[in-house]
Amino acid sequence: MVDDDNSELEARLPDQDYYRPPPEFVGQANVSDPAIYDRFEDFPEGFEEYAELLEWESRWDEVLDDSNPPFYEWFVDGELNASYNCIDRHLDERKNQTALLWEGEDGEQRNITYQDLYREVNKMAAALEDAGVEEDDVVTLHLPMLPALPITMLACARIGAPHSEVFAGFSAQALADRIDDAGSDVVVTADGYYRRGDLLNHKEKADEACELAEKDVDKVLVWERHEGELHPDAELEEGRDVLVSELLANNERTRVDPVTRDAEDPLFLMYTSGTTGKPKGCQHRTGGYLAYATGTSKYVLDIKPEDTYWCAADIGWITGHTYIVYGPLSLGTTSVMFEGAPDHPHKSRIWEIAEKYDVDIFHTSPTAVRQFMKWGEEYLEGYDFDFRHMTTVGEPIQPEAWNWYYEHIGDSDAVIVDTWWQTETGGHLITNLPALDDMKPGSAGKPAPGIQPAIYDDRGDEIEPASGRAGNLVIERPWPGMLQTVYGDDDRFIDEYWRDFSETDSDDPEDWVYKTGDGAVHAQDGYFRILGRLDDVMNVAGHRLGTMELESAVSEVEEVAEAAVVSRNDPEKGEVPDVYVTLREGVDPGGIEDKIVAAVERDIGKFARPNAIVIVDDLPKTRSGKIMRRLLENISNDDDLGDTTTLRDPSVPERIRDQLQD
């Protein structure tokens, strides 16, 4: 629900300054002619400009088939291969140029040229085929930030097997759920990776996931962090587990021709949290997605082949898929990958890498910026780097953090783009084009070319554009990077993204409106300011978490009777989960917190650990017995409680507040 009192909301927005992009930036930018916005208003043909950046085996007949909304088809009858576009087509011009510059946590370095990438991806494609993978089989990956990850993704793309990478921080249970949903016969993992000096045994999660999954996994392919030295605690199960190094060594085939994929054939799945306990497999198409990833990498991130570009995200999330792997490699640039944590072994690690590789474009999250700011400027001292362009993604950035980023990291002469988008959208939807639009700290900015966002009230009526009133952010027209569907569940696709604001019995695409789940304000200057999620999804340090997922994990603790998870605003992580529980009659509350934490770690992963666990006598409920999470959220955030008269027991919230103050 949107805050009813929009005027109050607007009043809380601080005054904002604008910053012009420096002339040196504008002079060299990939796009510096405002006519681009008009070109893309020619809808949908404008998007051909992105598709033209790719090499197609056969060209599309029609840009968009919108006859069956919301199942749109892009670049109809076009054919291409994503791995060919990210590797093979660059070989003539830049086979000796570094494609991936990998830095291990321990300082190990690997420069993988486009020729090396070609060789490794071909060999891995052959290995996947030997493991029984066929075109259209979904392969589940559980790979950390090792070169193995992009190599395996591109190898899957080469043979037309959609990959489904599960972020390495997810637990065995979360991996098992995703293996089951995707129906994968083959899983690709690694024996280990470094985290703050420890070589973690990562393989054990895949072992446990194979036990937990209902699906029988035929093969688990295991990359080694140190080739030829399997992690001492990793066990291989005879008949099921195979070392990738052995598969590669024993394989005579060094080339696998890229298969011809229809533009609409799926390229990958990316599971994300929604408003129910079960994560959704966002299914992305080959042609439209790659075109959109490439186009926005060129126009928004301003990537050129000669750049060294570093997106300090994890490839296990959508940001890494689009803006470490597919977009940058499709443009033939050098993309940096980093295995480690930003503060290990010291808090200057990021700047050390930026200097070492002479990074031109730097991409990070507001959570990271807030952390750098908290650590202080002294960690930047003595490091010589010069970013031309900087990006933030994943959360709203407060003007204070933006200004610090601009001044201390950008030396007040880099451009910053705040990019708003989602796992579902495939690429940026609201963001400035850096040479054309002034920067405005705290605002994501204008719609990307061809994108038509709007603000709707809860009844589904459009709020007047540029009115400055808060509402539901929706997208009124399709775009090539959008998800095709929720894997295996077209109904859920419609329910989650379309039903609220569309006329779902209509065949007219104008009646179909995509719901983002975010609240936003469209200001007078045409800039959008994102306010955050309006649904039961939280954004913890840029990681998206469903409160229902957390609640179902917490409810598994035997002693817990009822659980409610709400979001608390956090100065560093943006939001953090607070857990409120009631216990079953007569149970001993001792040790419950530990059990709850363990349940969350087991079902989701360590990154989802609750901030606070509050054991209460009763939860605030309506007369019909519905838990009023809004009130708990107000308690967590020290906000006014507002109207409590509809509660079955109106004294409950105050009692909880008193309990917390004691």
Nearest distance, CB of residue 422 and ligand PRX, angstroms: 4
Q: Tell which phi-psi region holds residue 421, choosing left (phi > 0), alpha (psi between -120 and 50) or beta.
A: beta
Nearest residue to ligand PRX by CB is: 423
Question: Which lies closer to ligand PRX via its Cβ, residue 205 or residue 533?
Answer: 533
Minimum distance, C-beta of residue 394 to ligand PRX, in the bound complex (Å): 4
Complex with ligand PRX: residue 77 or 399, whichever CB lies closer:
399
Q: Which of 284, 515, 533, 621 binds ligand PRX (CB under 6 A)?
A: 533
Q: Tell me if 562 sits within 8 A of 627, measured CB to CB.
A: yes
Q: How far is it, in rounded angstroms, from Cα 292 to Cα 302?
A: 14
For ligand PRX, the closer CB: 349 or 544: 544
Nearest distance in Å: CB 110, ligand PRX: 26
Binding test (CB under 6 A) with ligand PRX, winner from 113, 164, 173, 319:
319
Q: Which of residues 148-207 bind ligand PRX (CB under 6 A)?
A: none
Q: Does 530 bind ligand PRX (CB under 6 A)?
A: yes
Shortest Å, Cβ 16 to ligand PRX: 15
Among 110, 503, 532, 615, binds ligand PRX (CB under 6 A): 532
Interface of this chain with ligand PRX, residues 488 to 517, rule: CB under 6 A? 516-517
Minimum Å gap between C-beta 282 and ligand PRX is 8
Q: Closest approach of Cβ 499 to ligand PRX, in Å?
A: 18
The encoded tokens of residue 439 equal 């920067």
Note whether 321 binds ligand PRX by CB under 6 A.
no
Residues in the interface with ligand PRX (CB under 6 A) total: 22
Judged by beta carbon, residue 141 or residue 444, the one nearer ligand PRX is 444
Closer by beta carbon to ligand PRX, 184 or else 423: 423
Q: Which is nearer to ligand PRX, 425 or 634 (CB)?
A: 425
Closest CB 226 distance from ligand PRX, rounded Å:
32
Q: What is the largest CA-CA distance in the chain?
A: 74
User: Could you tell me which of 243, 261, 210, 237 has the C-alpha nearest to residue 131?
Assistant: 243
Indicate the DSSP class of residue 283: E
Site string (423-442) toward ligand PRX, x via CB under 6 A? x-------------------
Least Å distance, CB 537 to ligand PRX, is: 7
Structure tokens at 360: 């031109």
- The least distance separating ligand PRX from the CB of residue 518, rounded to whole angstroms, comes to 5
Given the DSSP bridges, would you call strands 528-533 and 514-522 parallel, antiparallel or unpaired?
antiparallel
In whole angstroms, how close is the CB of 474 to ligand PRX at the nearest point? 12
CB of 397 to ligand PRX, least distance (A): 7
Which 536-565 residues touch ligand PRX, going by CB under 6 A? Answer: 539, 544
Scanning 95-103, 354-362, 390-398, 495-503 for contacts with ligand PRX by CB under 6 A, the matching segment is 390-398
Q: Does the CA dihedral 453-491-543-221 come out positive or negative?
A: negative
Residue 98 or residue 423: which is nearer to ligand PRX going by CB? 423
Site string for ligand PRX, 394-423 (x = CB under 6 A): xxx---------------------xxxxxx
> How near is the Cβ of 516 to ligand PRX at its closest, in Å?
6
For the bound state, the minimum distance from the C-beta of residue 276 to ligand PRX, rounded and expressed in Å, comes to 16
Per-residue x/- marks for ligand PRX, 626-655, CB under 6 A?
Answer: ------------------------------
Structure tokens at 560: 């817990």
- Interacting residues of 150 by C-beta distance below 8 A, sequence separation 6+: 100, 315, 324, 325, 329, 337
Contact status, residue 174 vs residue 141, Cβ threshold 8 Å: no
Residue pointed to by tokens 């509050």: 614
DSSP state of 384: -
Stretch that binds ligand PRX, among 45-53, 525-533, 615-623, 654-662 (CB under 6 A): 525-533
Distance, CA of 557 to CA of 596 (rounded, Å): 6
Name the token pair of 472.
Answer: 């539901």
252 to 281: interface string for ligand PRX, x by CB under 6 A: --------------------x---------
* Distance of alpha carbon 351 from alpha carbon 354, whole angstroms: 5
Q: Is the peptide bond before 70 cis (omega within 30 degrees of 0)?
A: yes
- Strands 334-338 and 308-311, by their bridges, are parallel
Q: Which of the stretches 22-30, 121-129, 389-397, 483-491 binds ligand PRX when contact is defined by CB under 6 A?
A: 389-397
By beta-carbon proximity to ligand PRX, the closer residue of 134 and 458 is 458
Q: Which residues contact 591 (CB under 8 A, 6 or more apart)?
A: none
Q: How many other CB atoms are found less than 10 A from the CB of residue 165?
A: 29
Minimum CB–partner distance for residue 497 and ligand PRX (Å): 12
Q: How far is the CB of 420 from ligand PRX (least distance, A)?
A: 4
DSSP assignment of 425-466, as one string? GSS-SB---TTTS-B-TT--BSBPTT--EEEE-TTSPBPPTT
Q: What is the Cα–Cα distance from 216 to 214, expressed in whole angstroms?
A: 6
Tokens 């705290």 belong to 442
**Can you name the residues that pair with 103 across neighbouring β-strands?**
109, 338
Please work out, in degrees rounded to the nearest 5, the angle formed at the alpha carbon of residue 455 by the alpha carbons of 472 and 544: 40
Distance between CA atoms of 619 and 623, rounded to whole angstroms?
12
Say whether 651 sits in a helix, a strand or coil. Answer: coil
Q: How many CB atoms lie within 10 A of CB 384?
A: 8
Q: How far apart are the first and last CA of the chain?
A: 32
For residue 589, the minimal CB distance to ligand PRX (Å) is 34
d(CA 518, CA 515): 8
Which residues lie closer than 8 Å to 216 by C-beta, 6 or more apart?
185
Distance CA 577, CA 599 (A): 14
**122/422 with CB nearer ligand PRX:** 422
Q: Which stretch binds ligand PRX (CB under 6 A): 70-78, 80-88, 374-382, 526-534?
A: 526-534
Q: Closer to ligand PRX at the Cβ: 85 or 516?
A: 516
Residue the block writes with tokens 């005879």: 238
Tell me the window of 5-13, 529-537, 617-625, 645-653 that interacts with ligand PRX (CB under 6 A). Answer: 529-537
State the Cα–Cα distance between residues 164 and 539, nearest whole angstrom: 22
Which position among 318, 329, 417, 600 is part of the footprint of ligand PRX (CB under 6 A)? Answer: 318
Binding site for ligand PRX (CB under 6 A): 272, 318-319, 393-396, 418-423, 444, 516-518, 530, 532-533, 539, 544
